[in-house]
Chains A and B, each alone.
Chain A
Amino acid sequence: GEKVEQHESTLSVREGDSAVINCTYTDTASSYFPWYKQEAGKSLHFVIDIRSNVDRKQSQRLTVLLDKKAKRFSLHITATQPEDSAIYFCAASPNTGYQNFYFGKGTSLTVIP
C-alpha cells in the first residue's frame, strides 16, 4: 500500500519568513495530494491540495509543488504568521473515486513572533 513520508517532524521559523514542508510517497497510482492543518486539540482542516495533472498550485500565501518523477510534493508558506503554527499533515490518495487518504506523520510548525 501507499506510504507517505513527511520529512520534517518539527519546524520553527520566525514570523515573516517562509516555511517548507516536504513529503514523499511510494505509490505511482497516487494522484491527489491534500494538505491538512491541525491545531492543538482540534480536528483537521483542509489547507490546499494538488492533483497530478499539474505540478504547481498557489492559494494566497500557500504553494504546493508536485514532482511526480521523484514522487515528492511540498508545501510552501510565505510571510508566515503566528496563527500558521499548527501540525501540518500531507496525504496522498489514489484516484479510485473513494480516495482513501494516506497521511504523513505530521510536521509541527512553530512561527516565532
Chain B
Amino acid sequence: GPKVLQIPSHQIIDMGQMVTLNCDPVSNHLYFYWYKQILGQQMEFLVNFYNGKVMEKSKLFKDQFSVERPDGSYFTLKIQPTALEDSAVYFCASSWGGEQYFGPGTRLTVL
C-alpha cells in the first residue's frame, strides 16, 4: 500500500541545537500532519499543513517549531532551539482528506 517515509529514523542532538525532521508523504496526498508520541504513550497532534499553509496547530506546537514543504519536496518539521522535553517519537502522516497514512516515525533524543 501507500507508504510514508521518514528520515532519519533516529536523531540524537544536544539541547539548544536545531533539528530538521523529514517526511516523504504519499505522492498524491494533499494534507500533511505531524504528531508527537512520548514513550509509546498517547499520540498527540502537533500541526497540519495544506496548500502550503499551516491550517491548524495545537498547544504543543511551540514557537520553536516550524513546518514547510518547499516545492513539493519533503514535508519538514524544524525545531530551533531544541529542549529536553522535545525528546519523543515524531510521526508524519499524509492523507487525501480521509484515512491518514503514518510514517515509521523519527525518534528524537535531546541531551
Q: Which residues of A contact B (CB under 8 A)?
A: 1, 32, 34, 36, 42-46, 49, 87, 89, 96-106
Contacts and interface: CB of A to CB of B under 8 A. Distances in A.
Nearest to A46: B99
10 contacts: A42-B104, A43-B103, A43-B104, A45-B102, A46-B101, A89-B43, A97-B97, A99-B100, A103-B45, A106-B43
A43 B103 CA distance: 6
Interface in B63-111: 91, 95, 97-105
The 7 closest A-B pairs by CB, nearest first: A103-B43, A44-B102, A105-B42, A43-B104, A43-B102, A98-B55, A98-B31
Contacts of A32: 98
A103 B40 contact: no
Give the interface size bracket for B toward A: 20 to 34
Nearest to B107: A41
Given A103-B43, A103-B44, A105-B41, A98 B99 contact: no
Interface in B25-54: 31, 33, 35, 40-45, 48, 50
Contact of B31 (A43, A44, A99): A99
A78 B104 CA distance: 28
A102 B43 CA distance: 8
A102 B45 contact: yes
A45 B44 CA distance: 16
